Amino acid sequence: MDKVVALKPTESAGYVNKRIALMKYMEYDQLQKAEALKDAAQEKDTARVKELQVKGDSAQAHLDKIKKQFDDVNQKLTELAKQAQGK
């Protein structure tokens, strides 16, 4: 994703594709977190509950990282749109 953006940083297509990929990563992380929390709520073994909570926390940490990248891409797309209007 970043290679395409690096080749043509003034074109929006690379950023749009990156945004789509990041959205899919975010959806996956949200599903992983929800699944881990659901399983933890149903689990009776405390060791397994802690394991599932760690899995949920890990998914949330990755989600936060991806969300930051997503916000950065959206900001860049906004800048490109403003530049295109100014031409």
Q: What's the angle, vertex CA 61, arms to CA 56 and CA 65, rounded to 5?
A: 145
Tens of pLDDT, residue by residue over 10-46, are 899 999 999 999 999 999 999 999 999 999 999 999 9
pTM here is 0.85
For the stretch 19-49, what's the b/e string if a residue is b when 16 or more beta carbons lie within 10 angstroms of its beta carbon? beebeebbeebeebbeebbebbeeeeeeeee
pLDDT tens string 61-71: 999 999 999 99
